[in-house]
Structure 1
Amino acid sequence: MRTSSERQGNLASRSRPILTCAVLFMFCVVIVLSYVIESTSASANASGESAQDFSKFRHDTQQHTRMPCLVCHVRSSNSPAPKLPGHIPCASCHSAEFAKGNSSPICAICHTATDVKRFPPLRSFNAVFDHSRHARQTNCATCHKPTNRGVGLSIPSRAAGHTTCFQCHQPQTIVGDKNIGSCSTCHKPGTVSRTSESSVAFKRNFSHAEHSRKGLSCSDCHTIRPGARRGSQVTAPQPAMHLAPSGIKSCAACHNDRRAFGDDNFANCRRCHEGNRFKF
């Protein structure tokens, strides 16, 4: 009759081959999985590289979005016209494409067959602006200039926007710990939109220049609304007189027969009403 120790020894001896096989099997599984994962990853990377279109530049790629604007857009002067970044910023990441020489499609981003392209217009970025922050530092006339013989006022945009903003936002202007001369100060990814310079009041014989000559300032008629979206940050009086609603700032606030000719003064209607669209 076998003792307990003999039975345990026999059981252990029978278990060793099974354990060895299990370990070898797991090792083989790990090797195969590692090979499959590596092959899949390499295939995906190769597919991604081959699918990438190097002939077009996009700001919204994963690699480009995490880079500061100043890596590529260095303002060496206060010129309102932005310049293309040159080879160094691009070649730092795309060395494989630059190694191909003129045959690489990446050259077509900035170059034609014989020349360098002009800086492209704003397409994938919008412009942000906060009147409430600027009103503490400057006045309206710094940015808004008379247009249409003084009837309206300009809203800086395109190259004129840079010319206006660069009066204060110079290349190395630091406020706090932020460089306010960088692209990201004003431009954020999004759809380009521009605020209209027209107004209903301009069609009713209103003139900023005429009111300015009477001693009125912007704040007499307009109020800044902090935090409002662009296009709604500055209020404007309702261009109405005779039936102007109460509680709303309108022309009637000043044209009350005390400060200026008012609602009951019909001596010369054409002071406000003129043109083919005016009807009695």
Structure 2
Amino acid sequence: MSCVLFWSGNFVIARFIHDDIAPIELVFFRWFSTLVVLSPLLFIHRKKIFTAIKNHFLIMMTFSLLGISGYNSFVYLGLQTTTATNALLINSSVPIMIIFLAALIFKQKISLMQMIGIGLSTLGVVFLVLQGDFTKIDSIGFNPGDIWIIIAGLSWALYSVLMKYKPKDLHGLEFLTAVVFLGSIVLLGIYLFSGYGFTSGVAVVSNNYWVILYLVIFPSILSYVFWHKGIDEIGANKTGQFTHLMPVFGSVLAFVFLNESLELFHFMGISLIGFGIYLSLFLKKTLKTIE
């Protein structure tokens, strides 16, 4: 759940500073700075990491494009124009994307309880975003930013599902360092091709150092390590369900940092999300324990 909390902060911050930093600047300096932090690990395990990249180049490049350069660029592009409400609604479909992609690619079966749990948690997200008033759904319009968020969701879902092909010889931070290295190279090319220079980039980083610092430590390093660990432990389908908690954490962050109030609909939506996650992840295990 920690990774989802940190990613919620990523969405809040990206929307907060969307007028100050261009999407490509934000995504490039986020991951370039992350690579700098991980560079000691890259140097120490350079033989192991570069051997894995050489032997598994296609899948490693796919991971870097989907999960590093692609996903984050699409999110930041989307948050330039879409509202937080729309982004949260669209994000609630990511667990469904993961389950159906897993079923399509690996023929994984979807249990009835999983479907009920997904339905309830999705309903909880919608209830939370619409503030308990479903008549508001007619007032939600779609714009180009929403398309970018949808593409980002598909990119992340595919990244999570394909984690089954992660090289076995790379573990934890080693794997993250490898994909960040490849993703940073791709982003550097895009950054330079877009006409940005390092002089202006230094100004961006110095003026928003706290943003880059947060993005590097929490959504980039810790969240990715936790997410990969979750997929290794319980699979992409079950791990994906926790993304439904993003609007929950978003509400709490808004309460703590923006002095926004917590209303009855918040608790009702959170209850639906929590019950849905319980049904899809823990009920079967609980019943087996009782038996």
Of structures 1 and 2, the larger Rg is shown by 1
Tell me if TM exceeds 0.5.
Answer: no
Between the two structures, name the one with larger relative contact order (CA 8 Å, sep ≥ 6).
Answer: 2
Alignment TM class, shorter chain as reference: under 0.3
| TM-score, normalisation: structure 2 | 0.22
Q: Which has the higher helix share?
A: 2
| TM-score, normalisation: structure 1 | 0.22
